[in-house]
Amino acid sequence: MAWTRRRFLRHTGLGLLALGVPPSFVVRAAQGEKYSRGKVLVVIFQRGGMDGLNAVIPFREKSYYASRPSIAIAEPTAGEDRALDLDGFYALHPALAPLKGLFVQRRLAIIQAAGSPDNTRSHFDAQDYMEIGTPGVKSTPDGWLNRCLARSTQNTTPLRAVALTSGLPRILVGSAPALTMTAAEEFRLRDEAMTATLQRLYATAQDPLFQQASRNLFEAMESLRGLVSGAGALSESYPAGRFGASLKEISRLIKASVGLEIAFAEIQGWDTHVNQGGASGQMANRLKELAEGLSAFYRDLGDRMEDVVLVTLSEFGRTVRENGNRGTDHGHANVMFVLGGRVKGGKVYGRWPGLEPEVLYEGRDLDLTTDFRAVCGEILSRHLGQKDLAKVFPGFQLPSRPLGLI
């Protein structure tokens, strides 16, 4: 099969170039151009469907304990492996202990009974709907973060939008350029053969812009890696694994002042059908990784967190009742976390619908009272200054009374 420039770039993982962004933009950034401190939105996707009821526990609800005889988290009292009281009604899972201080400092807000209004229990459909921002409408071609980027063209840095993923996530697909990488040091081709192939493709390209860019692209990539690497030593230790490494790279990009506006990362492993565990076990391990990562990220950025808002998403919650395998199945409403220096935290937002059988969604799930688009739309508007939310979330109107997260 013949190698075209676009096919080769897609194969090598150079997402920015595959989207047709002239490499001269990369060169300009790599020459050391610093951007003024701007607002940054970080989106974390918890893939698999987190059990929000065991993350933020409504411990005053008798139905919570009746529905989960083997996986419920013990009420907050003295002793180990008990929930951490937040406000007398809600409590954090003990594995989320690193987030308790951020909640007390009013830097962490929690939204309970939030998520997508679509009733699908398919991971693939639910993730798609949440990433394209049009629940129930599969034909939407682009992601809502990309539509946000497309509404403003003032920021032209190639590092304006970065996904710390192996491929471009659905949420960033669209007309606005976005880059994928796993680490700044890996922003390069993988071997000499690929380098020669790319040089040959650019040399024979009809577009003179790309012909000229081929002469300095590789030097620019090296310089850009050096710019991010020299942004300053990390002040915090992140948890081992892909998620911690992603947060570390996002922190470095923010500190390097390269014009980052939107960053995306993900953490897998939330589909807990079997042996979910309670205060310990597989879900507790994921929560620990999440909490340690977010806490390290906050401390590492220091006063730069005044410019940053981080929000978490997960495609759906889990069933209220545990199943026969000491796990939970695909549910409906869930929990969202919002972290930032200017976030009005220290509060659990959203109307609590209850867990009595007669108020459960379809007789089995936590009902949804806050659309995830209300949360994200408020962040886009108040943090990033996005004015055209109807274009970002078509068919959705923000509530007349905002949550007041920021």
Q: Which amino acid is at 104?
A: V
Cβ proximity of 104 and 346 under 8 Å: yes
Q: What phi, psi does 180 have (nearest 5°)?
A: -115, 140
Q: Is residue 401 part of a domain?
A: no
CA angle 344, 346, 349 (to 5 degrees): 75
The two tokens of residue 59 are 């411990």
Q: How far apart are CA 84 and CA 93, in angstroms?
A: 6
**What percent of the chain lies above the pLDDT cut of 70?**
78
Encode pLDDT of 26-84 as tens digits: 555 555 556 678 999 999 999 999 999 999 999 999 999 999 999 999 999 878 899 99
Mean pLDDT across the stretch 297-308? 97
User: 10-14, 109-113, 219-223, 231-235: lowest mean pLDDT where?
Assistant: 10-14
User: Which among 344, 172, 383 is positioned nearest to 264, based on CA atoms?
Assistant: 172
Residue 16 lies in a domain: no
Task: Kindly state the average pLDDT of the residues 1-16.
Answer: 47
| Residue 124, domain member (yes or no) | yes
* Paired tokens of 76: 């907050």
- Residue 196 or 328, more confident: 328
> Is 140 within the bounds of a domain?
yes
Q: Look at residue 12 and tell me whether its pLDDT is greater than 50.
A: no
Q: How far apart are CA 374 and CA 56, in angstroms?
A: 20
CATH number at residue 163: 3.40.720
Residue 209 confidence class, pLDDT cut points 50, 70, 90 = low
Distances (CA, A) of 113 to 110, 228, 332: 10, 39, 9
CA-only gyration radius of the chain, Å: 22
Q: Is residue 364 within 8 Å of 322, Cβ to Cβ?
A: no
Which tens digits make up the pLDDT trace of 333-343?
A: 999 999 999 99
3-state secondary structure the chain: CCCCHHHHHHHHCCHHHHCCCCHHHHHHHHCCCCCCCCCEEEEEEECCCCCHHHHEEECCCHHHHHHCCCCCCECCCCCCCECEECCCCEEECHHHHHHHHHHHCCCEEEEEEEECCCCCCCHHHHHHHHHHCCCCCCCCCCCHHHHHHHCCCCCCCCCCEEECCCCCCHHHCCCCCCEECCCHHHCCCCCHHHHHHHHHHHHCCCCHHHHHHCCCHHHHHHHHHHHHHCCCCCCCCCCCCHHHHHHHHHHHHHHCCCCCCEEEEEECCCCCCCCCCCCCCHHHHHHHHHHHHHHHHHHHHHHHHHHEEEEEECCCCEECCCCCCCCCCECCCEEEEEEECCCCCCEEECCCCCCCHHHCECCCECCCCEEHHHHHHHHHHHCCCCCCHHHHCCCCCCCCCCCCCC
pLDDT in tens, 361-386: 999 999 999 999 999 999 999 999 99
Measured distance CA(304)–CA(234) in Å, rounded: 13
405 in any annotated domain: no
Please report the sign of the dihedral spanned by the C-alpha atoms of residue 7, residue 154, residue 311, residue 118: negative
Could you list the residue range(s) of the whole structural domain that residue 230 is in? 26-189+215-392
Residue 330 structure tokens: 């695909």
4 within some domain: no
In a domain, 75, yes or no: yes
Residue 7 has pLDDT above 80, yes or no: no
Convert the pLDDT of each residue in 67-76 to its tens digit.
999 999 999 9
Residue whose pair of structure tokens reads 């108020």 in the numeric block: 359
149 is written with which tokens?
């980027």
pLDDT, position 36: 72
Is the per-residue pLDDT at 165 higher than 50? yes
Task: Please report whether residue 6 resides in a domain.
Answer: no
Residue 296 in tokens: 């390290």
What tokens does 376 get? Answer: 């994200």
The predicted model scores a pTM of 0.87
Place of tokens 């790599």: 30
Number of structural domains (the chain) is 1
Mean pLDDT for 267-286 is 99
Please return the burial class of 169, using the count of CB atoms within 10 Å of its CB with bins 0-12, 13-18 and 19+: buried
Distance CA 200, CA 214 (A): 9
Q: Alpha carbon of 400 to those of 155, 216, 277, 290, 403: distances in Å?
A: 30, 52, 40, 33, 10
Q: Which residues of 22-43 are buried (b: 16+ CB within 10 A; e: fewer)?
A: bbbbbbebbeeeebeebbbbbb
